[in-house]
Chain A
Amino acid sequence: MRESTIMKIHYGTALAAVALVAVHILMRLTSGGFAESLEYEAVLANYKFIPYAIMLELILILLSVHGFNGLRVILLELKQGKTYEKAVSYGCLAAMFGLIAYGSRTIIMTNMGMV
């Protein structure tokens, strides 16, 4: 993939994540107070509410893509070399998919009442 395409995704995910995280924080503040919203039952209820679960999944994907690409950029600037750069790119990609898979598993399991 061309670097410009990657960076367009990088900027796009940043903007989308800011918007969705703002919605997420507003939901926390407006649904009966911040402290109450973090209680175990309230968190489970959020996951079981499908539109909210979808939004959390989207935030997870956006932040993972943006964050791991940011990490890739930092590591590429830290050191250079063909093998190192390949290892960094594929390593970040694998870590990104790993985190998305693990987070999605949590969201799906909680949504389906398995927790």
Chain B
Amino acid sequence: MAQVSGIADDQSSRTKTLRIARFNPEKDTEKQFMEFSVPVEKWTTVLETILDVKKHYDHSVAVRYSCRQATCGSCGMIINGKPRLACFTKVSELDSDVVTVEPMNNFPIIRDLAVKFERLFDTHHKIKPYLVRDDTELESDEKEFSQSPEELEQYIQFANCIKCGLCNSACPTMATDSSFVGPQALAQAYRYVADSRDKGKDSRLKIIDDSHGIWRCHFAGSCSQVCPKGVDPAMGIQLLRGYMLGFRS
């Protein structure tokens, strides 16, 4: 299915080859790549090149995207072998004439570059990603749950998670253990456990304390390497282990 197409007269240094993985689980047995010659400027993002292909050459390329500003977490994919957000990755920064885009690893493929997020959202939901308080405390309109800057510092970077799934895609444990909670959910568990306003620590720790929970992390650190928002899930997991081993309270 390999194909070369593009703008005939555009063979300048500003033309790059975009290789898009095509896969339809209902028909295909393995991924195949289609190649397109695409014009790029120094500010062109990978998502823009994919949308360019959709607009001019092949509208059937499946890709999920929305905000185009690294906020919604929809356009995660493997770009030149590394999980990245397509809208947040400039073609120029890849330093390569060939840009290969594939669907994220460790996610079931819907079609082409679009993957199913059910497992990510299920595990995220499982760890209770919200503040747990006693109901009586929430009845008063005047009550404030004040925090010191030091208390905020404990968890604030983890609140930047956009649920893009890049960390889960990079995680080697996720690749073999289909029941593993994953770095995204574990980092979010830490975010709420470390929040001084939260009262749900014990129940959250209980949820992740199973045979496919926090203990299956081998601290490869890939999750932290690929996070586009600067979150460090590997560190969150180690800090969470501190709670479970009794080093933190």
- B is bound to A: yes
| Chain B CB within 8 A of A3 CB | yes
Q: C-beta contact mask, A53-89 vs B, less than 8 Å → 1, else 0?
A: 0000000000000000000010011101000010000
Please indicate the chain A residues that have their CB under 8 angstroms from the CB of B221 in the complex: none
Q: Is the interface of B mostly helix, strand, loop or mixed?
A: loop
Interface size class of A (residues with CB under 8 A): 10 to 19
Please indicate the chain B residues that have their CB under 8 angstroms from the CB of A2 in the complex: 209
Whether A76 contacts B215 by the Cβ 8 Å rule is: no
Residue of A nearest to B172 (CB): A77
Please indicate the chain B residues that have their CB under 8 angstroms from the CB of A85 in the complex: 211
| Chain A CB within 8 A of B203 CB | no
Whether A3 contacts B215 by the Cβ 8 Å rule is: yes
- Report B45-73 residues with CB < 8 Å from chain A CB: none
Whether B216 contacts A77 by the Cβ 8 Å rule is: yes
Whether A77 contacts B173 by the Cβ 8 Å rule is: yes
| Chain A CB within 8 A of B177 CB | yes
Whether A80 contacts B212 by the Cβ 8 Å rule is: yes
Please indicate the chain A residues that have their CB under 8 angstroms from the CB of B210 in the complex: 3
Q: Is the interface of A mostly helix, strand, loop or mixed?
A: helix
Q: Report the bound CA distance from A72 to B104 in whole Å.
A: 29
Whether A76 contacts B245 by the Cβ 8 Å rule is: no
Q: Report the bound CA distance from A76 to B218 in whole Å.
A: 14
- Which of A4, A8, A78, A80 has the most chain B CB atoms inside 10 A of its CB? A4
| Chain B CB within 8 A of A18 CB | no
Whether B177 contacts A3 by the Cβ 8 Å rule is: no
Whether A8 contacts B177 by the Cβ 8 Å rule is: no
| Chain B CB within 8 A of A7 CB | yes
| Chain A CB within 8 A of B244 CB | yes
Q: Report the bound CA distance from A76 to B179 in whole Å.
A: 10
Using a CB–CB distance below 8 Å, which chain B residues touch chain A? 173, 176-180, 209-213, 215-216, 244-245
